[in-house]
A and B are shown apart, each in its own frame.
Chain A
């Protein structure tokens, strides 16, 4: 298996509505990633596109639709889709293209344009539910999170204010992010606790916003990186992914077992036996504030029920012992589903190469983990990167 590095990253602004089409956003992000790596499209052997449900853009075969903007024209090109998990999974797919020896350079481009769907992208989220068991009840996607959050709070006795601290931390971290949609330097725990109740226990500021945006990363083999003398690179040292049954009403929602399995796979490959000691910072998937806590436990970076305590004690702040979502995460930067790769893979690359600017973790970091989550509380994928 060949050693693979991330050598460039790019992203557009994340906003509720962007004027650019999906293709145009892909082009902008892809061009930025290639330029930051000092490459052109001619250097790219293969292209991977990641994008979530076709129904948001309203174009079926969205992978083909976005192809030209992704730089995939007349090249081996594949679209991958694992729901919200696509934010990390497309880079895993890019990794195996290079690790297998098939390609030296792979461009990964993720896109989401949620504003096209009227009146609100929620309407098409209804189509992810089982047509016989769930859909007659007219579910709203937020119910998933509300039910999981309530179960998590109940089992571990977690207080809402400790969960709200995650939203505060991430929206404040996002202040240093040039693409952020919902950065807020002054937000407080009370703001979150007093925000509109949408589906209790979920309140408005517990949630990341729907967004338009695109992001891209460039992956290359060790041989290529040495040959071209590329200095800014972060090595992919472990990958893992796992999915649980669609029968989500048959499992206890307090712990994401599938994330733990994905993490164990990635850690084994990265030769990490003690993740709490060996991982310096994390970018877990945070579409909702409690999900960061849930995922830190799934990633085995906290014991079950311990992540809220670490948050309260400041351990997960940017200058804490285990910085979590130093990018500002989905809560602060925005949630164009697959394009969140910019805060997961992109941020870990920028942090490990010292390019994160105002968001740079103030102490030295060598190993970071990113994780994404999707489908009906089912899908976890994990990537470990090292400097």
Chain B
């Protein structure tokens, strides 16, 4: 490489070269839309979210309570066995304090987001969600939290039926 090669190909452009049309270019805006059938496991999961409950599947092969629920166990590679409710309380496994939105644009009020392992599921099994009713200085790994549900009439069968997970209060199980 390096010593033997005198020319490294590539012509650099600046953002302005593209945005101000200084280089020959062509543009296209795709208009792709999707509707996913949620499938067996996720349909029941979303239905139960509307009821304000979290549901899992049990596997008798590995004796795990699988959350998010699935119709087959990836470990035992056999169908899972039964539905079971788990609790809407859990533990923060990890989190981030995000100053970026989904398109990497800067936001001034940070999003608190992370993974909650849920009580009643097998260890370390949980979901990604937002955190609320706590500041960026209060949030910590190991914090005990509980789902803050939207009012029943606003729930639509989506993970957003949970607004966020908030700190577990004294006396709450």
Q: Interface of A with B (CB < 8 Å)?
A: 9, 11-20, 25, 28-29, 32, 36, 58, 115, 119-120, 122-123, 126, 131-134, 136-140, 142-143, 146-148, 150-151, 154, 176, 178-179, 196-202, 212-213, 245, 247, 249-253, 346, 350, 355-359
| B87 CB → nearest A CB, Å | 16
Give the bracket for the number of chain B residues in contact with chain A.
Answer: 35 or more
Give complex CA distance A12, B10 in Å. 6
Question: Are A12 and B68 closer than 8 Å at their CB atoms?
Answer: no
Decide: A147 and B114 in contact? CB cutoff 8 A: yes
* Assembly CA distance A227 to B151 (angstroms): 76
Contacts of B94 in A (CB 8 A): 147-148, 150-151, 154, 253
Contacting residue for B103 out of A16, A123, A212, CB 8 A: A123
In the complex, A115 Cα to B12 Cα: how many Å? Answer: 11
B62 proximal to A (CB < 8 A): no
Contact of B9 among A28, A147, A202 (CB under 8 A): A28
| Chain A residues in 8 Å Cβ range of B102 | 122-123, 126, 138-140
CB pair A355 B159 closer than 8 Å: no
| Given A136-B158, A136-B160, A200-B96: A179 touches B13 (CB 8 Å cut-off) | no
How far apart sit A139 and B130, CA to CA, in the bound complex (Å)? 10
Q: Nearest 6 CB-CB pairs, A to B? A: A357-B2, A13-B10, A146-B96, A122-B104, A28-B9, A151-B94
Instruction: Give B105 Cβ to nearest chain A Cβ, in Å.
Output: 8
CB-defined contacts of B10 to chain A, threshold 8 Å: 12-15, 18, 20, 25, 28, 179, 212-213
B12 adjacent to A150 (CB under 8 Å): no
| Residues on A with beta carbons closer than 8 Å to the beta carbon of B136 | 200
CB-based contact B159/A133 at 8 Å: yes
B110 proximity list for chain A (CB < 8 A): 200
